[in-house]
């Protein structure tokens, strides 16, 4: 199974925020954005493994800035790291600025699993990060996976060597 | 501002999984469920604070079991803890079983913020947990908030007294 | 075939009225509510008979009070009586009140038929009403069925003993 | 206010049944058809009174024949009678037959009320029935209104002279 | 294969413009109208050939007048000419006028191809135009087909005898 | 008003074809693709002129290859030429290939007009084509505009100097 470069997993979608996507403040509803990100992230994961993928988990999505009715939203997704049968996908969300250009307004991380026709997990290729950002996110993806295993009580904290730098200053 | 009991924030919605909600395996797509949970959780948060609420973040959503086309899905939401202007909402997702009854297939945690008509955060009432489950989730909500503040580098790990029990066994 | 209690057929769904659900007065359109009630009533009927159900008829739906954009609507459905292969489902519609609580704004009655995989009607279990309201609606369901059979000319008025109390004051 | 001929209130809509309109038997769901009929009937009522109209009630909708995925459904609506501020709309539903032509598969009756910009009822013009079918439905509309007033306990049965022919054979 | 009269291919659909169909000026979006016209035109083509049809091309759609939120839009379609396996469908779009009647606001031309269950083109019956308008559109359909073949470089301009009247005044 | 480079008007959107987007052959319906292309093209035109844009016309859309349920469709749009207040947008449509990469399956051309808050046309900046493809499409856009003006009888064929090369071989 041939490793694939991060940039080959890039997926992008641009949308206009329509009335039904908004709440009573006429801001884009969080749930609508979650659903859009899921589709774009799924396309990215599918481009990595060339198999059917299913959403496994969603972590750390923050909605920092309201997005308004009529705004042009662009969602960009790239696989940040591949594990045995799962892939972490990192998403950046932008809104077009008046006058040109765009500003970033959100980040999110989704995890997908590649499955066969019965829905059973199957192996995926490795990911090759190339740019600085791709390498940073590749490294952070391992820490996030360890933290999630610890919180799910599937890993002993002492094994999470990658997390030590973060937590070893907690006085016991 | 009068505190409100957890059970008064209960919101429930039942849905049938339709073709457009499913992927090529005819399973409910993760993004669709994320959007449904956002609406139900938002209703719960609104019942707590009686104000307009906006989704602030989504954490720790795992999709453990596939939900099929035609399944009856029930989403239940209750506020688990209120902070200054934010509310953590805990969601349980069930599917009707053939022959009667239902089985649990998912949990999720969303955070909402109460806002005024300009979208600025405003204070919310305290939450009163009463049942054992409500009290457990109330306590865990604080640990989750501290962890999220630490990960966002807005809190020093040494202040997160609630997290110590979990992390002080990490050897430095 | 084991009889089932009315409360075991309870189904509930809460929704927020979105822009596309509304007419030019920004009130919830009747047709949208009819469609939502059909789904919730169908879940209730399915919980009673544990089979695929199809809508057979809709009667006596009145839209008494406008429901506004942004309102939280809660639809509650319970089977009111089971006949050979059909089930009458009684629906109550509520809107959340500002400040807490809810007010009732609508009632409706749908009839469903249980079908096999070819769409042919099959027998359903009996319904056991327990509360006062369940018993009242159970009795009224028979009168409604008789009236509908008479109007469809499938029953002779003289056989509709349940309807006599209502109509025998009509001078001939 | 000038009376309007029934044929000037005619509204028609043709649709193809798409996957999301169907249940697990791939038949058109009743609730979807109810919503489509509401729109077409509303256009008919609006053509009669040239005002904003809102759905007031739905009566006597029977779903006699399943409509399949991919079928072409045609809904035809015409105002059958106008009262002070309400209009009864009669709907016929057809499906295209293989080889040409169409077969009728459903009838329904909706009632609409004309409202001003505050949602208060306002007067509507009279309806002039011209064809035999229009005249039959015009006469039946009055009997239906009387029956509905009696059932709602807003009319004394003895005043419903139009209903006598139907009910005076009920032995007391 | 029996020829079919143009009037037997007539299809009509009326819709109310809802919030999600509109742009930030609350006018009907062009893409939404394109999609509605595709469905109505497809029903017309299907009525002509009594087979599954697929959209082959869209030409010469102009959006001359804005259509507003809440407007009643009526789309009328009729096959204007049949070729070997393709059918040109001519569409007229109207909006209800305040006070009664309607005004035309758009025309469009779509081409459909009849296909078998594998998606391969199959022959369609001839079309018989009867009214003056049907005959004019029948004649113009041939010129449009020739122009489109020339632009696609599938026909030599000198063979397009029907187009000569239009283009022979171009000085070389 | 500062001219803008073609590449700054690029807009892209990727979508998965869902059940409701497909016809009875489970191929993407033409009308659905027309609507998706309209949104993406509108974003491109808006990026060029930084104003509200409305669809003015659609020309020459051919659907050459069926797109299947579950396919990943990518729509790319770029302004090909700007006129006084209108912009021609050129669209390329791709489908992901099994095993990686993508194949082109469609082209389309939409025209948008920039409008002020009353919907009146306003001037747009010039477009600067840079690549060979951008220059080719820029030149062809003028020929298309002339042809469309001639067909609409708003231009005398003898003035369409750009079209001569194409049509002067038509023998008169």
D120 C-beta neighbours (distance < 10 Å), count: 10
- Which whole number is the average pLDDT over E7-17? 97
- Which whole number is the average pLDDT over A24-39? 95
Tally E–F CB contacts below 8 A. Answer: 131
Going by pLDDT thresholds of 50, 70 and 90, the confidence category of residue D151 is: confident
Closest residue to A32, CB basis, from B35, B62, B163: B35
Cβ pair A79, A87 in contact under 8 A: yes
**E8–D12 C-beta distance less than 8 A:** no
- Which whole number is the average pLDDT over E86-113? 95
pLDDT of F128 above 80: yes
Residues of D in contact with E7 (CB under 8 A): none
Going by pLDDT thresholds of 50, 70 and 90, the confidence category of residue E171 is: very low
How high is the pLDDT of residue D12?
Answer: 98
Quote the DSSP letter at residue B153: T
Going by pLDDT thresholds of 50, 70 and 90, the confidence category of residue A93 is: very high
CATH T-level fold of E4-129: Thiol Ester Dehydrase; Chain A (3.10.129)
Q: What percent of chain E has pLDDT over 90?
A: 72
**B60–A151 C-beta distance less than 8 A:** yes
Structure tokens at C39: 């789904």
DSSP string, F29-67: PHHHHHHHHHHHHHHHHHHHHSSEEEEEEEE-EE--S--
Strand B102-115, strand B86-96: pairing: antiparallel
How high is the pLDDT of residue E150?
Answer: 79
pLDDT of D1 above 90: no
pLDDT of F119 above 80: yes
Distance from CA of C24 to the nearest CA of E (A): 6
Q: Would you call D20 an interface residue with chain F, using a CB distance cutoff of 8 Å? A: yes
Element (H, E) at C62: strand C61-62
Quick one: which of B140, B143, B126, B40 has its CA closest to B85?
Answer: B126
Distance from CA of D20 to the nearest CA of F (A): 6
Most confident range (mean pLDDT) of A138-147, E62-71, F81-90 is F81-90
In sign, the C-alpha dihedral spanning D39, D42, D43, D44 is positive
**A98–F50 C-beta distance less than 8 A:** yes
Least confident interval from B98-102, D146-150, D153-157, E142-146: D153-157
Q: How far is CA E26 from the centre of its chain?
A: 26
Going by pLDDT thresholds of 50, 70 and 90, the confidence category of residue D169 is: very low
How high is the pLDDT of residue E126?
Answer: 98
How high is the pLDDT of residue B161?
Answer: 65
The residue written with tokens 């490793």 in the block is A3
Residues of F in contact with A15 (CB under 8 A): 13, 39
Q: Would you call B62 an interface residue with chain A, using a CB distance cutoff of 8 Å? A: yes
Cβ pair B12, B40 in contact under 8 A: yes
Q: What percent of chain F has pLDDT over 70?
A: 91
Distance from CA of F71 to the nearest CA of D (A): 17
Read off the pLDDT of residues F62-105 as tens digits, 9 standing for 90 and up: 898 899 999 999 999 999 999 999 999 999 999 999 888 999 99
Least confident interval from B159-163, D53-57, D164-168, E4-8: D164-168
Least confident interval from A120-134, C14-28, C148-162: C148-162
How high is the pLDDT of residue E62?
Answer: 86
- Which residue in chain F is spatially nearest to E144 when comparing CA positions? F151
- First CA to last CA across chain B, in angstroms? 45
How high is the pLDDT of residue E169?
Answer: 47
* Chains with at least 3 CB pairs less than 8 angstroms from chain B: A, C, D, F
- Which whole number is the average pLDDT over B128-136? 98
pLDDT of E170 above 50: no
Going by pLDDT thresholds of 50, 70 and 90, the confidence category of residue F1 is: confident
Question: How far apart, in whole angstroms, are the C-alpha atoms of residue A15 and residue F46?
Answer: 12
Residues of C in contact with D170 (CB under 8 A): 157-158, 160, 163-164, 167-168, 170
Read off the pLDDT of residues F153-170 as tens digits, 9 standing for 90 and up: 777 766 766 666 655 544
pLDDT of E10 above 90: yes
Question: How far apart, in whole angstroms, are the C-alpha atoms of residue C13 and residue B13?
Answer: 4
Distance from CA of E66 to the nearest CA of D (A): 20
- Which residue in chain C is spatially nearest to B36 when comparing CA positions? C15
State the best of C8, C11, C14 to mutate against chain B, taking most chain B CBs within 10 Å: C14
Strand C72-82, strand C11-16: pairing: antiparallel
- Which whole number is the average pLDDT over A137-148? 90
Distance from CA of E21 to the nearest CA of C (A): 9
pLDDT of E12 above 80: yes
Verify C-F touch: 3 or more CB pairs within 8 A.
no
- Which whole number is the average pLDDT over E51-57? 95
Quick one: which of A79, A44, A41, A43 has its CA closest to A58?
Answer: A41
Quick one: which of B86, B75, B74 has its CA closest to B141?
Answer: B86
Residues of F in contact with E25 (CB under 8 A): 52, 54, 115, 117, 119
Cβ pair B35, A34 in contact under 8 A: yes
How high is the pLDDT of residue D170?
Answer: 46
Closest residue to D66, CB basis, from C59, C119, C171: C119
pLDDT of E167 above 90: no
- Which whole number is the average pLDDT over C119-143? 96
- Which whole number is the average pLDDT over C55-68? 90
Average pLDDT value over all residues in chain E: 90
Structure tokens at F25: 């052959």
Q: What percent of chain A has pLDDT over 90?
A: 72
Q: Would you call C118 an interface residue with chain E, using a CB distance cutoff of 8 Å? A: no
Residues of F in contact with E157 (CB under 8 A): 167, 169-170
Residues of B in contact with A27 (CB under 8 A): 54, 119
Question: How far apart, in whole angstroms, are the C-alpha atoms of residue C20 and residue F157?
Answer: 47
pLDDT of D109 above 80: yes
Least confident interval from B122-131, C19-28, D142-151: D142-151
Domain ranges of chain D: 4-129
The larger pLDDT score, comparing residue C143 to residue E47, is at: E47
pLDDT of D87 above 60: yes
- Which whole number is the average pLDDT over A62-86? 95
Going by pLDDT thresholds of 50, 70 and 90, the confidence category of residue D150 is: confident
Main-chain dihedrals φ then ψ at residue F33, nearest 5 degrees: -65, -40
Least confident interval from B125-134, C17-26, C69-78, C123-132: C17-26
Read off the pLDDT of residues F6-55 as tens digits, 9 standing for 90 and up: 999 999 999 999 998 999 899 999 999 999 999 999 999 999 999 999 99
Going by pLDDT thresholds of 50, 70 and 90, the confidence category of residue E39 is: very high
Buried b / exposed e along B106-125 (16+ C-beta atoms within 10 A): bebbbbbbbbeeeeeeeebb
Question: How far apart, in whole angstroms, are the C-alpha atoms of residue B149 and residue D167?
Answer: 74
Question: How far apart, in whole angstroms, are the C-alpha atoms of residue B90 and residue B142?
Answer: 13
Read off the pLDDT of residues E101-146 as tens digits, 9 standing for 90 and up: 999 999 999 999 999 988 999 999 999 999 999 999 999 999 888 8
Strand E11-16, strand E72-82: pairing: antiparallel
How high is the pLDDT of residue A171?
Answer: 44
The larger pLDDT score, comparing residue F133 to residue A148, is at: F133
Quick one: which of A36, E55, E12, D16 has its CA closest to F39?
Answer: A36
pLDDT of E3 above 80: yes
* Chains with at least 3 CB pairs less than 8 angstroms from chain C: A, B, D, E
Question: How far apart, in whole angstroms, are the C-alpha atoms of residue E90 and residue E41?
Answer: 8
């Amino acid at each position: 199974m041939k490793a694939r470069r991060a940039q080959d997993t890039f997926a992008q979608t641009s949308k206009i925020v329509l009335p039904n996507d908004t709440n009573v403040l006429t801001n884009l509803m969080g749930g609508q954005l979650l659903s859009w990100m899921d589709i774009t992230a799924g396309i990215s994961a599918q481009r990595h493994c060339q198999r059917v993928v299913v959403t496994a988990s969603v972590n750390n999505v923050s909605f920092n800035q309201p997005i308004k009715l009529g705004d042009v939203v662009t969602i960009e997704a790239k696989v940040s790291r591949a594990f045995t049968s799962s892939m972490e996908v990192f998403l950046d969300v932008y809104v077009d600025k008046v006058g040109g250009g765009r500003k970033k307004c959100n980040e999110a991380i989704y995890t997908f699993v590649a499955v066969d026709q019965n829905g059973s997990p199957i192996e995926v290729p490795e990911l090759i990060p190339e740019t600085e950002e791709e390498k940073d996110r590749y490294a952070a993806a391992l820490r996030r996976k360890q933290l999630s295993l610890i919180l799910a009580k599937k890993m002993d904290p002492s094994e999470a060597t990658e997390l030590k730098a973060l937590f070893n200053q907690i006085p016991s």
